């Protein structure tokens, strides 16, 4: 870091920005000590001090092997979701599928599906991805991320869950992955203010079966099975209070093997159901 940049970092810290974030902002906006870019840095710092997430201000963020473009049209991908991708890769490796077809429901920025394609590609496996979202804006961001990473075997589908997915895929999907909205209204009202910068429809789901935020999980679990190959797998991220409901839903939907995994901080988080 140049002396000029060190001074700029110190100024941001004095203004109230955490040192690590101040360094990121300076590295992002002031390349090589170019003082012409300081107004842009100051504008970014003001946004951060008002509470906007750093990821939107910087406009991109790492997710597994990818640097994803992000803005307020999509959810900021979470570290737990990186674990979902890891688990999906392990499941695919166990099944030994040569050219998997993957359905990413509620793709948002494209994080899950595109990371899977990219990491499979680096293992010499050519997968095909169908990326679905109800938000046209999210699909635009996901499409841009696919182009950015030269991931071409992707089709983008504007659909509410499976409703407008091509029916000819039924029985042919090796892996359904989803990180749907799963926060109930009441919980949302008490969550971190940072979440108010993210699209509400990406976070909040109606209640179902008397379970807060369960409605989208319920639809996905109920409908996924008929889209899967006989060896196909559903991986679905859920809220930490949803374990009983997702296991019950997957069992009654007819999945033959149903597991629910904790995330790295020990919270119930990931349904793994085999057709």
Ligand X SMILES: C[S@@+](CC[C@H](N)C(=O)[O-])C[C@H]1O[C@@H](n2cnc3c(N)ncnc32)[C@H](O)[C@@H]1O
Residues that bind ligand X (CB under 6 A): 75, 77, 81, 106-109, 111-112, 132-135, 138, 160-161, 179-181, 201-202, 216
CB of 18 to ligand X, least distance (A): 23
Q: How many CB atoms lie within 10 A of CB 28?
A: 17
Asked if residue 196 lies in contact with residue 231, where contact means CB atoms within 8 angstroms, the answer is no
CB of 204 to ligand X, least distance (A): 9
* Alpha-carbon span 27 to 85, nearest angstrom: 29
CB of 14 to ligand X, least distance (A): 34
CB of 207 to ligand X, least distance (A): 15
* Residue 26 vs 115, nearer CB to ligand X: 115
Q: Which residues contact 197 (CB under 8 A, 6 or more apart)?
A: 51, 52, 53, 56, 72
* Alpha-carbon span 217 to 98, nearest angstrom: 29
* Residue 39 vs 206, nearer CB to ligand X: 206
* Residue 11 vs 187, nearer CB to ligand X: 187
CB of 106 to ligand X, least distance (A): 2
* Residue 69 vs 133, nearer CB to ligand X: 133
* Alpha-carbon span 55 to 72, nearest angstrom: 9
CB of 32 to ligand X, least distance (A): 33
Q: Which residues contact 145 (CB under 8 A, 6 or more apart)?
A: 66, 68, 69, 109, 110, 114
* Alpha-carbon span 26 to 44, nearest angstrom: 10
* Residue 29 vs 113, nearer CB to ligand X: 113
Angle between helices 3-15 and 38-49 (to 10 degrees): 30
* Residue 20 vs 158, nearer CB to ligand X: 158
Closest CA to 259 of 233, 220, 222: 233
* Alpha-carbon span 135 to 59, nearest angstrom: 19
Closest CA to 105 of 65, 147, 165: 165
* Residue 92 vs 139, nearer CB to ligand X: 139
CB of 39 to ligand X, least distance (A): 32
Which strands, in side-by-side order, build the sheet including 257-262? 154-158, 128-133, 101-105, 173-178, 228-237, 268-274, 257-262
């Amino acid at each position: 870091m140049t002396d000029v940049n060190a001074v700029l970092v110190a100024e941001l810290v004095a203004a109230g920005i955490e040192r690590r974030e101040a360094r990121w902002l300076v590295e992002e906006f002031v390349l090589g000590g170019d003082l012409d870019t300081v107004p842009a840095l100051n504008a970014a710092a003001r946004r951060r001090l008002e509470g906007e997430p750093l990821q939107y201000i910087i406009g991109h963020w790492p997710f597994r092997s990818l640097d994803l473009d992000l803005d307020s049209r999509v959810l900021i991908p979470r570290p737990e979701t990186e674990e979902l991708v890891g688990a999906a890769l392990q499941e695919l490796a166990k099944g030994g599928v040569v050219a998997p077809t993957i359905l990413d429901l509620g793709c948002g920025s494209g994080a899950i599906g595109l990371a899977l394609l990219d990491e499979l590609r680096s293992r010499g496996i050519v997968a095909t991805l169908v990326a679905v979202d109800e938000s046209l804006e999210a699909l635009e961001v996901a499409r841009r991320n696919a182009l950015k990473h030269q991931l071409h075997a992707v089709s983008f589908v504007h659909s509410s869950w499976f409703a407008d997915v091509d029916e000819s895929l039924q029985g042919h999907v090796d892996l359904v992955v989803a990180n749907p909205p799963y926060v109930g209204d009441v919980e949302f009202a008490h969550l971190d203010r940072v979440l108010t910068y993210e699209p509400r429809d990406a976070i909040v789901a109606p209640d179902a079966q008397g379970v807060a935020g369960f409605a989208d999980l319920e639809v996905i679990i109920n409908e996924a099975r008929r889209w899967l190959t006989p060896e196909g797998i559903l991986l679905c991220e859920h809220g930490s209070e949803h374990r009983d409901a997702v296991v019950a839903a997957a069992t009654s939907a007819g999945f033959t093997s149903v597991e629910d995994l904790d995330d790295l901080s020990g919270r119930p988080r990931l349904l793994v159901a085999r057709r």
